[in-house]
Structure 1
Amino acid sequence: MQPSSRQLAIAGLVMTTFFWAGNALVARGTSESIPPFALSFWRWMIPTVYLLPFTIQAVLRYRQELLANWPKVIALAFFSVGAYNTILYLAAQSTGAINIALVSSTMPLMIVLFSALILRTLPHRMQLTGLILAFCGVLTILTRANLDTLLGLDFNPGDLLMILSISSWALYSVLLKRWPLSVPLFPLLCVLITLGTPMILPFYLWEVHDKGGFALSTGNLLALLYVGTLPSVAAYFMWNNGVRTLGPGVAGLFAYLIPVFAALIAVPALGESIESYHLAGGVLVLAGLVAASRRSRTEAVADRLTR
């Protein structure tokens, strides 16, 4: 039995959040060895190089569509490749890991808000239920089921950068649905990466002039190879497919899996242990995703009528 497009989209979103959890850990682990603009630039320069042959073919094949919608394509490249991770890496220099994860957990809420403002779509009851359950699960993990941890957090300018970063990605996700370009996902991804990477270059050059570069150690090279493949190309392709298939509201909820996967990855990588609050939070997140991924009755009826 072949999996449906919804099942493939859900599986892709799960893998996306797993790769992004690894990206967060790599960014945190290299914060002192690779400056933020350098990490962001090379994260995208690496796939630009190995996707260049496909990019040229994509531009030539879909040049009329791309030229006719060039302001939209530029905006999508800016909010996704140019801005999102660049601002996130910059925020990581001045705020703590818990703050980053906590602010990142507002991404689904941001996507729901932008969807209401731009797409004029409101979440159905199961989506709202899933949103609340998953958010409670994330809070359980981040605070270690201790309310004092949440109340004791100090917020700083880096957290404002995180809000800007999450808003950029939420806006990109909604605009991707708002502007349904006829360019297939992979060629569109190649074009966005090629257009978005030069947007980071001036900031990277300023950083090199101001702070210098970074050592080409084995650890740094492996980190760059990782962020330049799985969290970038693979994750972005699967995220775009999830948005097109499930809509930005449902796709955004899968961001709640990032702290769950980050905790699981930290066990073998950092020698941490699984605690009861990890399990409790993970169950709430999964329950929320199951609830939110269920189609509303109207969607189910419409799907049967179109068969």
Structure 2
Amino acid sequence: MREALNARHLAMAGLVLTTLFWAGNALVARATHESIPPFALSFWRWFIPTIYLLPFTLKAISRYRDELKKHWIEVIALAFFSVGAYNTILYLAAQSTGAINIALVSSTMPLMIVLFSALILRELPGRMQLIGLIAAFCGVIVILTRANPERLTNVAFNRGDLLMVLSISSWALYSVLIKRWPLNIPLFPLLCILITLGTPMIFPFYLWELNTEGGFDLTSGNVAALLYVGTLPSVAAYFLWNNGIKTLGPGTTGLFAYLIPVFSALIAVPALGETIEPYHAIGGAFVLVGLIASSWQNRTRKPTCRTGP
């Protein structure tokens, strides 16, 4: 019992770090949208870890080749929805929609995960999970609107927002399918394999972009941005997210996505010189209550996702 509780606490701590890394990823994407094209950012984000993880990937492919042959369709689908599609579409959407729109659409991710869980896994949310979902969503809205609901009436949606819906749907589907398809491959080797399979899926679009729009300059800022997105928001965050799904389930794990706008606001204080306002505290408190409520419901549940032996 104590070991299971410790595993849950570690998984939750890992998910907090995941959302912190992804908040930094969103800020980097916005900061470099004029200097690094979207497909280039997506491709190099995954090509960098493909290189330094290559020894582990080759070992994983050799060791789990029978499992890969048996479930090759599932593995390719997971690579597509996570590495190939999610961030590529997100970076593309960032070119034609605003930060508020991105945050608003992204806030539907936990709801989409709960919806896909109900449709695919036949797992309906409990009372506490629904309370947590609503509370955390309200907290995000408070932060995004700065406690002024009239700001929502000024939001105009465009093609970029449709791309954001596709991006979030892709990640929500991945988060549910990785539980639906319990592969006998441990988390880290599976991540190495998914990155290796997903990166080539982006390459044709990167070549098209390179031919039509050109590349980017290897400035110190661009290199630092690529090194960041190629480590913490990719390898570290994906590993911790998968561990959260394995330990807590996709529904509770998805709720942690509500921490992304909270961390984005906190990071903006030192990075952009912004100040902490009361609505930050109010919204953050709602998100925290939502996370506690959801995880309280599932504290006695045993994990059913088997992503490794």
What's the TM-score, normalizing by structure 1?
0.96
Q: Give 4+ residue runs of structure 1 displaced > 2 Å after superposition.
A: 295-300
Q: Within 2, Cα distance between the matches of 1:154 and 1:148?
A: 13
- Mapped contact 1:22–1:265 kept (Cα < 8 A): yes
**Which of 138, 143, 148 matches 2:150?**
148
Instruction: Using the TM superposition, give the Cα deviation of residue 295 of structure 1 relative to its aligned residue in structure 2, in angstroms.
Output: 2.9
Residues 87-126 of structure 1: pairs in structure 2 closer than 5 A = 87-126=89-128
Q: Within 2, Cα distance between the matches of 1:97 and 1:299?
A: 37
Tell me what 1:70 maps to: 72
State the Cα deviation string for residues 48-67 of structure 1 (Å, max 9, x = none).
00000000000000000011
Instruction: Using the TM superposition, give the Cα deviation of residue 147 of structure 1 relative to its aligned residue in structure 2, in angstroms.
Output: 1.1
- The unaligned stretches of length 5 or more in structure 2 are 303-309
State the Cα deviation string for residues 122-158 of structure 1 (Å, max 9, x = none).
0111100000000000000000011110111000010
- Mapped contact 1:242–1:251 kept (Cα < 8 A): yes
Residues 250-269 of structure 1: pairs in structure 2 closer than 5 A = 250-269=252-271
- Mapped contact 1:95–1:159 kept (Cα < 8 A): yes
Instruction: Using the TM superposition, give the Cα deviation of residue 196 of structure 1 relative to its aligned residue in structure 2, in angstroms.
Output: 0.1
Say whether 1:243 aligns with 2:239: no
State the Cα deviation string for residues 165-188 of structure 1 (Å, max 9, x = none).
000000000000000101000000
Cα pair distance change 1:297/1:273, threshold 3 Å: closer
Aligned residues: 301
- Mapped contact 1:9–1:238 kept (Cα < 8 A): yes
| Cα root mean square deviation, aligned | 1.4
Say whether 1:211 aligns with 2:207: no
**Which of 149, 154, 158 matches 2:160?**
158
Tell me what 2:40 maps to: 38
Tell me what 1:221 maps to: 223
Q: Within 2, Cα distance between the matches of 1:59 and 1:217?
A: 36
- The unaligned stretches of length 5 or more in structure 1 are 301-307
Instruction: Using the TM superposition, give the Cα deviation of residue 19 of structure 1 relative to its aligned residue in structure 2, in angstroms.
Output: 0.2
Instruction: Using the TM superposition, give the Cα deviation of residue 297 of structure 1 relative to its aligned residue in structure 2, in angstroms.
Output: 8.3
Tell me what 2:53 maps to: 51
**Farther off after superposition, 75-84 or 148-157:** 148-157
Q: Within 2, Cα distance between the matches of 1:7 and 1:182?
A: 24
**Paired letter, 1:36:** P
**Which of 85, 88, 96 matches 2:87?**
85
**Paired letter, 1:255:** A
Tell me what 1:17 maps to: 19
Q: Within 2, Cα distance between the matches of 1:271 and 1:134?
A: 26
State the Cα deviation string for residues 60-105 of structure 1 (Å, max 9, x = none).
0000001100000000000000000000000000000000000000
- Mapped contact 2:248–2:298 kept (Cα < 8 A): no
What's the TM-score, normalizing by structure 2?
0.96
Instruction: Using the TM superposition, give the Cα deviation of residue 200 of structure 1 relative to its aligned residue in structure 2, in angstroms.
Output: 0.1
Q: Within 2, Cα distance between the matches of 1:294 and 1:244?
A: 17
Cα pair distance change 1:298/1:266, threshold 3 Å: closer
**Paired letter, 2:15:** L
**Paired letter, 2:145:** T
Identity %: 76
Instruction: Using the TM superposition, give the Cα deviation of residue 255 of structure 1 relative to its aligned residue in structure 2, in angstroms.
Output: 0.1
- Mapped contact 1:124–1:296 kept (Cα < 8 A): no
**Paired letter, 1:72:** E
- Mapped contact 2:15–2:253 kept (Cα < 8 A): yes
Q: Secondary structure at the match of 2:36?
A: coil
Cα pair distance change 1:298/1:242, threshold 3 Å: closer
State the Cα deviation string for residues 12-69 of structure 1 (Å, max 9, x = none).
1000000000000000000000000000000000000000000000000000001100
**Which of 158, 168, 171 matches 1:169?**
171
Instruction: Using the TM superposition, give the Cα deviation of residue 299 of structure 1 relative to its aligned residue in structure 2, in angstroms.
Output: 3.1
- Mapped contact 2:117–2:124 kept (Cα < 8 A): yes
